[in-house]
Chain A
Amino acid sequence: MTERIQSVVVAALDEINASRAEKIPTDDVLGLCLYGDAGVFESMYLVAFLSLLEENIEDEFGAEISLTSEKAVSLRVSPFSSVRRLIGFIEGELELVGVRG
């Protein structure tokens, strides 16, 4: 399932990159920081990216999850600190709603 989720995340990043002058680097996508000191998104752009990702996850897995839930923002290490963390969070949320890889 991890690989499927990674594909969905990369596809969302590619969609964002299509309209960006300065592309988000995706060569080390798992280590990519989404938000914070070295993040690639400012607040509003992160909100838009997460909305897109939620839609794409629903399309791919047929399940609706929230990436900005209380649970997501309460984690000691933010799911937006890296794509690896985000994938881990998504995987956990999908398992909770019964989606198995």
Chain B
Amino acid sequence: MARSKVAIIGGGPAGSVAGLTLRKLGHEVTIYERLSLPRYRIGESLLPGTMSILNRLGLQEKIDAQNYVKKPSATFLWGQDQAPWTFSFAAPKVTPWVFDHAVQVKREDFDRLLLDEARSRGVTVHEDTPVTDVDLSDPDRVVLTVRQGGENVSVESDFVIDAGGSGSLLARKLGVRQYDEFYRNFAIWSYFRLKDPFEGDLKGTTYSITFEDGWVWMIPLKGDLYSVGLVVDRSKSAEVRARGADEFYTSTLAKCARAMGILNGAEQVDEVRIVQDWSYDTSLYSADRFFLCGDAACFTDPLFSQGVHLASQSAVSAAAAIDRITSHGDERDAVHAWYNRTYREAYEQYHQFLASFYTFASFTEPDSEFWRKRRITESDDDRLVRRQWFESLAANGPEASGGTVATFRDRASTMISIGRHQRPDLSDDFSEAELNAARVRWISDLTARLNNISRFRWSGGKAVLKPYYGVEPTGFRLEHREVLANEDGLDLTRYAMDDETRQIFQDLAEEEFGYRTLVKRLGAAGRQEQSTQLVIRLMEAGLLDGYDDNGDKVFIQGRLHFGGVGVEYEV
């Protein structure tokens, strides 16, 4: 089996998960970490998709032994006078690696655990070893300059993964980083001694709470600690300089009555820390012999705790991509195209989600400058001009099946209505079960809309299969798959397709039948369970449009899904 030598910059979650995956795939790996672990990091709230990846990498026992606080959900007090709403991670176990919870971690412990595990599995780890240069000029190898014992040393590898965080050497050197004007915030936070005040279904949840100056996170950690952070506009930094970080933190937090209510006079037990929170992505996620992973590639507002998940997901993908290129050198360009596209789409998903929620909150905080500045109201909003998804949305206009500018608010409203508590205040009486009625009602409405579709129209000529890739969910190898597309190049990459299913859509292109007939035919092809999901995603991708008996277009709004590697969660 072909084997590559891979250098990884950074020993955080992205670097360690990439190292663990590459070792699993049989490659030789060296991690260069600038600092010595443990070292402090923010980003304590994880997502179930990360648990799933770590489980499949064989770390379950190690994670369980840490007794981290179990995180069953995220709870939002989102917008003035809004009832709390919770999105739960409870999910049907359709595969053994679906997790119904995440964990809340102290990153110094968690990152150390991952790096130690990588080392124990044969990854060479150098701590206190900054990488000072990466030379990509040789098409056959990568040359890194690392600083060890006060001396510069050159090391060679076949590939390099930059998982070096926001200070990424490669992103800077290549000039590929693109900042987003829309989310230029900073975060300021500290820790409080507080036993989780809630039992039952709220125990362990992460709170996100809006107030006039921004929003607050509250994360329960092991040892009765609460991480409490404020996300505020960058213009407030002048106030921080004038008044000092402690005074600014205390007085700004005091403006958030609902956070103060949860804290209930708890004692602050740590210093106040600040970090810049500017969203960015990259014009290039990988090429030739390099890959960017985690914060080295992109970062977006931490509202959905997606940081470690994007890091671990991209790390597995980069490792699988390197493995594929190692054994199939002629596919290099196609593999890079896959990595760039899947990573960009994952990032955009969170970004759209954020735009929805910020826009929703802006309408409930009408007097707040912070929220007004973050409202999307116009399709020519120049803060978003660079964003592909927004350009596409604006260009499609109000008749498009993908939605309109108003969809940002509507989508958040839909999700909030599905997760809204039946009582206005947080209380131990909250039960996950009370959300079912709203969810079932939403399902009923969706079903009625789908059943109204008496005619589907397939866009862009014939239904065709086109080659793509997917990561095999247990072995983590990148495998060929075929996906459904039209002749204009629009496609749906989420599902591997076969010719039998393609033929159903080709028949649909010619006969234009309705929803019930379509799901029946998909069922006969062995796709019964995923049929509705498939139809909705084809509509969202612009491949299918549905019409009722009057010839009116039927608008379908699915729930958002957070992806992972071979797993996804609906929100």
Give Cα distance in the complex from A16 to B334, angstroms. 35
B526 and A19: CB pair below 8 A?
Answer: yes
Known contacts A15-B523, A21-B95, A36-B436; is-contact A48 B533 (Cβ 8 Å): yes
- Residues of chain A within 8 A of B533, CB atoms compared: 44-45, 48
B529 and A70: CB pair below 8 A?
Answer: no
The digit string for A45-84, where 1 denotes a CB below 8 A from any CB of B, is 1111111100100000000000011101100001011000
- Residues of chain B within 8 A of A21, CB atoms compared: 94-96
- Shortest beta-carbon distance from B495 to chain A in Å: 12
B440 and A22: CB pair below 8 A?
Answer: no
The digit string for A19-48, where 1 denotes a CB below 8 A from any CB of B, is 111100000000000011111111111111
Is A97 engaged at the interface, CB distance under 8 Å to the other chain?
Answer: no
Q: Which of B519, B527, B559, B570 contacts A51 (CB 8 A)?
A: B519
B92 and A39: CB pair below 8 A?
Answer: yes
B444 and A69: CB pair below 8 A?
Answer: yes
User: Which residues of B (441-457) have their CB < 8 Å from a CB of A?
Assistant: 441-444, 446-448, 450
- Residues of chain B within 8 A of A96, CB atoms compared: none
- Shortest beta-carbon distance from A45 to chain B in Å: 5
User: Which residues of B (254-295) have their CB < 8 Å from a CB of A?
Assistant: none
- Shortest beta-carbon distance from B454 to chain A in Å: 15
Is B432 engaged at the interface, CB distance under 8 Å to the other chain?
Answer: yes
Is B41 engaged at the interface, CB distance under 8 Å to the other chain?
Answer: no
- Residues of chain A within 8 A of B559, CB atoms compared: 43-44
Chain B residues bordering chain A, tally (CB within 8 A): 38
User: Which residues of B (552-571) have their CB < 8 Å from a CB of A?
Assistant: 558-559, 570
A45 and B92: CB pair below 8 A?
Answer: yes
Known contacts A19-B526, A22-B96, A42-B92; is-contact A48 B532 (Cβ 8 Å): yes
B443 and A68: CB pair below 8 A?
Answer: yes
Is B528 engaged at the interface, CB distance under 8 Å to the other chain?
Answer: yes
Known contacts A21-B94, A42-B92, A68-B444; is-contact A47 B450 (Cβ 8 Å): yes
- Residues of chain B within 8 A of A40, CB atoms compared: 92
Give Cα distance in the complex from A28 to B529, angstroms. 21
A38, closest chain B residue (CB): B90
- Shortest beta-carbon distance from B525 to chain A in Å: 10
Give Cα distance in the complex from A39 to B439, angstroms. 13
- Shortest beta-carbon distance from A44 to chain B in Å: 4
**Tally of contacts, chain A with chain B, CB under 8 A:** 101
Is B387 engaged at the interface, CB distance under 8 Å to the other chain?
Answer: no
Is B91 engaged at the interface, CB distance under 8 Å to the other chain?
Answer: yes
- Residues of chain B within 8 A of A45, CB atoms compared: 92, 94, 529-530, 532-533
User: Which residues of B (407-462) have their CB < 8 Å from a CB of A?
Assistant: 432-433, 436-437, 439-444, 446-448, 450
- Residues of chain A within 8 A of B436, CB atoms compared: 35-37, 78, 81
Is B520 engaged at the interface, CB distance under 8 Å to the other chain?
Answer: yes
- Residues of chain B within 8 A of A19, CB atoms compared: 526-529
Give Cα distance in the complex from A20 to B533, angstroms. 15
Give Cα distance in the complex from A21 to B516, angstroms. 26
Known contacts A19-B529, A52-B528; is-contact A37 B444 (Cβ 8 Å): no
- Residues of chain B within 8 A of A50, CB atoms compared: 447
Is B536 engaged at the interface, CB distance under 8 Å to the other chain?
Answer: yes
Give Cα distance in the complex from A11 to B523, angstroms. 13
Give Cα distance in the complex from A74 to B75, angstroms. 26
- Residues of chain A within 8 A of B531, CB atoms compared: 48, 51
Give Cα distance in the complex from A37 to B441, angstroms. 16
Is B93 engaged at the interface, CB distance under 8 Å to the other chain?
Answer: yes
A51 and B516: CB pair below 8 A?
Answer: yes
Known contacts A45-B533, A68-B447; is-contact A73 B92 (Cβ 8 Å): no
B529 and A48: CB pair below 8 A?
Answer: yes
Q: Which of A16, A48, A72 contacts B444 (CB 8 A)?
A: A72
Known contacts A43-B570, A47-B450, A52-B523; is-contact A80 B440 (Cβ 8 Å): yes
- Residues of chain B within 8 A of A52, CB atoms compared: 519, 523, 528
User: Which residues of B (150-204) have their CB < 8 Å from a CB of A?
Assistant: none
Q: Write the residues of chain A forming the contact surface with B, with a CB cutoff of 8 angstroms.
A: 15-16, 18-22, 35-52, 55, 68-70, 72-73, 78, 80-81
**4 new A-B pairs (CB below 8 Å) besides A41-B92, A42-B92, A45-B533?**
A35-B436, A48-B532, A52-B519, A72-B444
26 interchain pairs, CB-CB under 8 A: A18-B526, A19-B526, A20-B94, A22-B93, A35-B436, A36-B436, A42-B92, A42-B94, A42-B570, A43-B446, A43-B559, A44-B559, A45-B92, A45-B530, A45-B532, A47-B446, A47-B532, A48-B533, A49-B529, A51-B447, A51-B519, A51-B532, A68-B444, A73-B441, A73-B443, A78-B440
